[in-house]
Amino acid sequence: MFVRQTLQSCLYVMRNVMLAGLAAVTTIFVVWSMSTFAKPKLVGKADASATIWPHEIMKQHGRNLLVEYWDPF
């Protein structure tokens, strides 16, 4: 009977450790994905709140910007 209680408590602790590890890995993944994919996309050293129009980009590069790259937002 003592062995059974010891085994049950060992499995209980092992389950809790596995759940804590899974929670830690999930938290790390969420933080990493947010920091990777939530960065603002800037052109040059512009302010994040400034709107950059395709015409301005064309003037900076000195050539025409294709319509596929025009992003109004």
pLDDT in tens, 38-64: 665 555 555 555 677 766 776 776 666
Residues 44 and 70 in one domain: yes
Split into its structural domains, the chain has a count of 2
Q: Which domain holds residue 53?
A: 40-73
Residue for token pair 């969420």: 30
Residues 32 and 47 in one domain: no
- The pLDDT score that the predictor gives to residue 16 is 95
Residues 52 and 30 in one domain: no
pLDDT above 90 covers a percentage of the chain that reads 25
Residues 30 and 61 in one domain: no
- The pLDDT score that the predictor gives to residue 18 is 97
Looking at per-residue pLDDT, the higher value among 73 and 25 belongs to 25
Residues 23 and 44 in one domain: no
Global pTM reads 0.46
Residues 54 and 64 in one domain: yes
Mean pLDDT of the chain: 76
Residue 4 CA: distances (Å) to CA of 7, 8, 13, 15: 5, 6, 14, 16
Q: What sign for the dihedral angle of Cα 21, 26, 29, 31?
A: negative
| Type of residue numbered 6 | T
